[in-house]
Structure 1
Amino acid sequence: MDRFVFITNYSSNFEILYTGFKRDDRGFVCLPNPWDEIARKEDNKVEFYRRLLLYAIPDSGEHFHFIVYGRLLEWISVSLPRVLKDTYKHATVVCYFGDLINKHDMDFEVVKKECDYICTFDKGDAKKYDIAFCQEPYSGFDMSYVESVYDICFIGRAKDRLNKIINLFEYFEKNKLKCDFYIFDVPPDELLYPEKICYNTYLDYKDVIRHIKSSKCVLEVMQGEAVSPSTRFAEALIYNKSLLTDCNSKEIKSVPNVFYFDEIEKIEIDELLREYNYTNNYWIDYFSIEKMIDRIIEIEKNKG
Structure 2
Amino acid sequence: MDFIYNYIIAGGSGFYEVAYSDLFNMPNVVYFRNYIDGINSKIKRLLLRVNFNLKVNKLIRTPLGKLVYPWLFPHSFKENRPLCFIFFGTQFAIINTSYLNYLRKKYPNAKLVLYMQDIIASLPYYDIESYKKRFDLVLSYDKGDCERYNLEYYPTPFSKIDIAKLPEVDEDIDVYFCGAGKTRYPEIFKAYIRCKNQGLKCKFFLMGVPLDKRIDGEGLVYDKRISYEMNLAYAAKSKCILEIMQENADGYTPRLWEAIMLNKHLLTNNSAIKYGEYKNLDSIHLIDECSSLDFINDKVFYSEEIKEKKLPINLLFKIDSL
| TM over 0.5, shorter chain | yes
Matched to 2:222, the amino acid is: Y
Shift in Å, 1:78: 2.3
- Do residues 251 (structure 1) and 254 (structure 2) align? no
Could you tell me how far apart the structure 1 residues matched to 2:77 and 2:70 are? 10
Confirm or deny: 8 A CA contact 1:155 1:181 kept in the other structure.
Answer: yes
Match of 2:54 in 1: none
Q: Which amino acid aligns with 2:140?
A: T
Q: Could you tell me which of 92, 96, 101 is aligned with 1:78?
A: 96
- State yes or no: 1:30 paired with 2:49: no
1:223 pairs with 2:246: yes
Deviation, 1:60, is: 8.5
CA shift in 2, pair 1:49/1:71, >3 Å:
farther
Residues 178, 281 of structure 1: alpha-carbon distance in 2 compared, 3 angstrom cutoff: same
Kept in 2, the 8 Å contact 1:64–1:91? The answer is yes
Structure 1 CA distance, aligned partners of 2:195 and 2:76? 49
**Partners of 1:49 and 1:192 in 2: CA distance:** 49
Instruction: Name the % identity.
Output: 23
Contact 1:238–1:280 (CA<8 Å) still a contact in 2?
Answer: no
Q: What per-residue deviation string (whole Å, max 9, x for no partner) do you get for residues 81-126 of structure 1?
A: 3332223243101100001012222211111111111011111211
Tell me if the contact between 2:35 and 2:72 (Cα under 8 Å) persists in the aligned partners.
Answer: no
How far 1:189 moved relative to its partner? 3.3
Q: Which residue of structure 2 lines up, in the alignment, with residue 15 of structure 1?
A: 17
1:69 correspondence with 2:88: yes
Deviates more, 1:210-219 or 1:289-298: 289-298
Q: CA RMSD in A?
A: 2.6
Bigger shift: 181-190 or 286-295?
A: 181-190
Among 273, 296, 305, the alignment partner of 1:272 is 296
Matches within 5 A, 1:193-204: 193=216, 196-204=219-227
Q: Tell me, which stretches of 5 or more residues in structure 2 are unaligned?
A: 37-44, 52-61
Preserved CA contact (<8 Å) 2:160 2:311: no
Q: Is the 8 Å Cα contact of residues 242 and 273 (structure 1) preserved in structure 2?
A: no
SS in 1 for 2:271: coil
Residues 177, 48 of structure 1: CA spacing in aligned structure 2 closer, same or farther, 3 A cutoff? Answer: farther
Q: Residues 246 and 151 from structure 1, CA distance in 2 versus in 1: closer, same or farther, beyond 3 angstroms?
A: same
Equivalent residues of 1:78, 1:114 under 8 A apart: no
Which residue, out of 149, 162, 167, partners 2:172? 149
Match of 2:181 in 1: 158
**Unpaired runs of 5+ in structure 1?**
none
Letter of the aligned partner of 2:225 in structure 1?
Answer: Y
Task: Answer yes or no: is the 8 Å Cα contact 1:69–1:97 preserved in 2.
Answer: yes
The number of aligned residues is 292
Match of 1:41 among 34, 50, 68: 50
Q: Give the SS at the match of 1:44.
A: coil
Secondary structure of 1:217's counterpart equals strand
Q: 1:81 to 1:284 in 2, by over 3 A?
A: farther
Q: Is the 8 A contact 2:28 2:77 kept in 1?
A: no
Equivalent pair of 1:21/1:289 in contact (CA under 8 Å): yes
Kept in 1: contact 2:173–2:203 (CA 8 A): yes
Task: Answer whether contact 1:78 1:110 (CA < 8 A) is retained.
Answer: no
1:197 Cα shift? 0.9
- Distance in 1 (CA, whole Å) between partners of 2:308 and 2:48 is 37
**Aligned match of 1:174:** 197
Q: Which AA in structure 1 matches 2:213? A: E
Partner of residue 213 from structure 1, selected from 229, 236, 259: 236
Q: Tell me, in whole angstroms, the C-alpha distance in 1 between the residues paired with 2:130 and 2:178.
A: 33
CA distance in 1, matches of 2:64, 2:80: 25
1:30-74 Cα offsets, whole Å, 9 max, x none, are 2248xx9674434636557633325345898631111110121x3
